[in-house]
Amino acid sequence: MIRTNEFTLAVIAALGFAALAVATDFNLLTAGTLDAFLRFLALPIVIGLAQMVVLAVGQMNLSVGVLTGFCAVASGWLMIDAGLPAPVAVLAALALGAVVGLVNGLLVIFTRINGFIVTLATMTILEGLRYGVNGTGTYQGYSPGLREFGQASLAGVPVVFLLAVAIAVGVALFFRRTVPGRHLLASGGNPFAARLSGISNDRALVLAHTLSGLLAGFAAVIVVAAFGSVNASIGDDLLLPSFAAPIIGGVALAGGMISVTGTVLAAFLVRLVDVSQSQFDINRRWVDLIIGAVVLGAVLLGQFRDKLSGGPR
């Protein structure tokens, strides 16, 4: 079923891309447009994966978007106000993301409160902190090296996009090949059975939340590098896309089933809708409407297919 879902998505993505290329008189395939297309695809991919790793254990992370913004602003502060070199700021952003994720996970296991509520609370706190770093100010003109990295291309492909793909491959290998990755999936699929097999569900929850935070840190690095400036509004519009990508990609909210390829393809589809909006000068709001319809359609289609193939999941 996962296979067919990913196959369907790949076909839709390819058809959509071809249709858009034809409709724009192949403007989409010119170096500049294609470059921008892929450059701004990096963030949705990573943010979708950050949500996916907690969905794997049947949790949600509402703080993922705001955490990305917080890490981005914090690394801006480190470079501009604290005068630290870019590599330190990048590592600090990653560490900060992982630590906040760890705190989320620990709160979930120690308070036994639903992860939805815990991350709702930490999201609210992070919104305050994100603003607290620099108020309404914008950090720009930091490390030329980092901004060049954000604009650089390797054989015509933006480096940040390659970074996002590398992260996706890493996440896929983690879930497919490593013991902790398999433990996460086992715990998400059936916590009781996992416990009987000697897997610590608590550890799986903490690990998933920490990973989610770390990926949000990576998303922050991509923002800092590719956007060239950061302020306190970053991350506000990332929450819904973070759910849209995995859900369209066929990841089950109940946990235990993930699809890295599906998530990446879904992020690609959402980006396609985004680009057609700018290419055809459509009202920005139609995009929200269309993405809402696509998410719902994808879910209904999945349900329908399950019914056809017989039996409940």
**Which range binds other proteins by CB under 8 A, 45-53, 74-82, 215-223, 297-305?**
297-305
Positive or negative torsion for Cα 286, 290, 295, 297: positive
Greatest CA separation for the chain = 61
Instruction: Name residue 177's amino acid.
Output: R
Q: In whole angstroms, give the CA distance from residue 24 to residue 18.
A: 10
Q: Is residue 104 classed exposed, middle or buried when 0-12, 13-18 and 19+ CB atoms within 10 A define those classes? A: buried
- Helix (H) / strand (E) containing 208: helix 201-227
Interacting residue with other proteins among 240, 257, 273, 279 (CB under 8 A): 240
Interacting residue with other proteins among 22, 120, 173, 193 (CB under 8 A): 120
Q: Please provide residue 139's backbone torsions phi and psi, each rounded to the nearest 5 degrees.
A: -95, 125
Interacting residue with other proteins among 81, 300, 305, 309 (CB under 8 A): 300
303 is a contact residue toward other proteins (CB under 8 A): yes
289 is a contact residue toward other proteins (CB under 8 A): yes
Q: How many CA atoms lie within 13 A of 25 on its CB side?
A: 1
Least Cβ distance, residue 31 to other proteins (angstroms): 32
Interacting residue with other proteins among 31, 32, 83, 112 (CB under 8 A): 112
Interacting residue with other proteins among 34, 84, 117, 165 (CB under 8 A): 117
3 is a contact residue toward other proteins (CB under 8 A): no
**Which range binds other proteins by CB under 8 A, 25-33, 44-52, 177-185, 296-304?**
296-304
Please state whether 198 falls in left (phi above 0), alpha (psi between -120 and 50) or beta: left
295 is a contact residue toward other proteins (CB under 8 A): yes
**Which range binds other proteins by CB under 8 A, 43-51, 86-94, 130-138, 206-214?**
130-138
139 is a contact residue toward other proteins (CB under 8 A): no
Interacting residue with other proteins among 10, 95, 102, 131 (CB under 8 A): 131
Binding mask 175-214 for other proteins (x = CB under 8 A): ----------------------------------------
Strands (E), the chain: 138-140, 153-154, 157-158, 229-231
Interacting residue with other proteins among 186, 244, 258, 267 (CB under 8 A): 244
Q: In whole angstroms, give the CA distance from residue 66 to residue 257.
A: 25
Q: What angle do CA 147, 67, 207 make, to 5 degrees?
A: 110
121 is a contact residue toward other proteins (CB under 8 A): yes
56 is a contact residue toward other proteins (CB under 8 A): no
Least Cβ distance, residue 208 to other proteins (angstroms): 18
CB of 264 closer than 8 Å to CB of 11: no
26 is a contact residue toward other proteins (CB under 8 A): no
Lookup: tokens for 209: 């939340």
Positive or negative torsion for Cα 107, 109, 111, 114: positive
Least Cβ distance, residue 258 to other proteins (angstroms): 16
Q: In whole angstroms, give the CA distance from residue 37 to residue 119.
A: 31
Please give the residue ranges that form the binding site for other proteins (CB under 8 A): 60, 107, 111-114, 116-118, 120-132, 232, 240, 243-244, 247, 253-254, 283, 285-293, 295-296, 299-300, 303
